[in-house]
Chain A
Amino acid sequence: MAGSFSRRLLTATRYALFEQGRNRLALGLLIVFVPFWYYLTLLIAQGTALDFKYWATGELLHVDGGNLTLLTAGLNAITLIVGFMFFASTGKGMQFDRRLVLSGYPQAVLILGKLIALVVVTAVVALYASLVLLAFWHGGHPTSLPLIWLGFWSAAMIYGGLGLLLGVLVTNELAGFFLVIMISLIDTSLQNPLGNPVGNQPVLKELPSFGAMQLEVAGGFTHLVPWEYFGLSLAWFVGFALLGLAIFWRRTHARSVRAAPLAAPAGTASGMASLSITGSGDQALDENIHTC
């Protein structure tokens, strides 16, 4: 059935994925920008040693600065690209989504489709960034590539949620992109001990990608799986996404009572659905209604 929940969810998810796939600029940035950034950061930081506060155990890790900077570079690239992708698609697509809702598409299904697409797209982006990272990692392998992927995925989901939130709040494209860039810059650069030598302060725990960065470092240099930081990242993602989707819900809401025929006021054909009402439903009808 075309109107069934599963069919509609599949359709909404498929086209949300399609839309992201057609964002050539974002794909180009992902393919070219990520390895290029890895390469540049390696040029700058290779051979240095850096200390990084690993909050899961509280110890100060003494690690290869090049490899650590690769992780922060990946984080920075992913947050920018994913934030841009979801800001662009949400802002541009809002009126179209509203039209779909007015045509009968259940809002909840449309929103669920967008969420599923976000989770899938960010997982793929994180996988690509993780695999490319392997090519640049030096002195062996990271201790757990899946954990690095989990860190990248967490960060990508958070910025997907942030992009969605900015997409429904900010109508000016330039302002939205600028906000994504500034938030990502502050968030990720402060956590890089190369750029911020005092970057082991507790205040960093308040940054959106703090948990993601801890996961990445765990995957790069330790044998621990700090699930609590995955939970923290999920909380940021859920917070941004829920807020964004709640505003999306409000903005795309159709002001109609579709299927529920009202008790029509006197003079109205029985069975006519009330499309929009203000004041009391039994107010007197205008006696001067024009009729052909």
Chain B
Amino acid sequence: MSELVLRVDAIHKSFGRRKVLQGVSFDVAPGTLVGIVGENGAGKSTLLKILAGELRPNRGQVFRRGALGYCPQQVILNDALTVAQHLDYFRAAYGINDLGRADELIEQLHYAQYRKVVVGTLSGGTKQKLNLTLALMHRPDVLLLDEPYQGFDWETYLGFWELTSTLREQGCAVLVISHLFFEQKRFDCLYHLQQGQVTQEAPAHLA
């Protein structure tokens, strides 16, 4: 138990009469890659927003240890600022002094040439890369990713999984939410979110 970085305990969430989450519970240990899969409208993004602190559940508790990185499904950037200005802004948000990790990520995701470019003029894929960089640049202990590879080309998609596996080796717990997983074998743990609850599924390589 002492190894946990995230504990989700009996989370309930309704919007009006619509019950979206009805007692979601699971644990996440450091250095694990956890996937949550569910149909459209199953409540995946709602769950992630609750884990990130964006939404308050009606009932239930979330416990977390360490720094959080959160990459929302919708790319949330400021179109008027450049890539470098975003990094500087989030450096101040996280209270970190150097951008060493952000620089590594930019190189790894191959978009260093856009550092001084205003975000409003970038392609969707490059915006998504920056979206991910902002979630990772402070070396979080828990990383929450909502459909993180939308808009990535094949090379970046592979780079993303390489990055995820490096993070896992470094002890970061990564929670990925998606409506579809082609790469089930990469996960240590897979959950299926349906009818407001999660059920554990055996990852393909363990099944």
Contact = CB atoms under 8 A, between A and B. Distances in A.
Interface in B118-152: 118, 134, 138
Counting chain B residues whose Cβ lies within 8 A of the other chain, the interface size class is: 35 or more
B155 interface: no
Interface in B20-79: 23, 25-29, 32, 34, 50-65, 70, 72, 74, 76-79
A152 B118 CA distance: 32
B173 to A, nearest CB: 10
Contact of B62 (A12, A23, A275): A275
Contacts of B61: 265, 274, 276-278, 281, 283, 285
Interface stretch (A43-51, A97-105, A116-124, A208-216): A97-105
Specify the main secondary structure of chain B where it touches its partner.
Answer: mixed
Counting chain A residues whose Cβ lies within 8 A of the other chain, the interface size class is: 35 or more
Given A103-B94, A274-B63, A289 B57 contact: no
B90 interface: yes
Given A3-B95, A283-B61, A275 B53 contact: yes
Nearest to B77: A96
A282 B181 CA distance: 37
B7 A2 contact: no
Given A8-B92, A103-B94, A278 B57 contact: yes
A273 B198 CA distance: 23
Contact of B9 (A7, A92, A103, A289): A289
A269 B2 contact: yes
Interface stretch (A14-22, A58-66, A178-186, A234-242): A14-22
Contact of B58 (A265, A268, A278, A291): A278
Which of B57, B93, B95 counts the most chain A CB atoms within 10 A? B93
Contact of B191 (A99, A268, A273, A290): A290
A256 B64 CA distance: 10
A95 B63 contact: no
A259 to B, nearest CB: 11
Contacts of A93: 78
Interface of B: 1-4, 7-10, 23, 25-29, 32, 34, 50-65, 70, 72, 74, 76-81, 85, 88-97, 118, 134, 138, 188-189, 191, 198-200
26 contacts: A2-B92, A2-B95, A3-B94, A15-B81, A19-B81, A89-B80, A96-B76, A96-B77, A98-B54, A98-B76, A99-B70, A100-B90, A104-B94, A105-B92, A105-B93, A264-B63, A269-B4, A269-B65, A271-B65, A272-B7, A273-B64, A274-B61, A274-B62, A286-B10, A289-B27, A292-B27
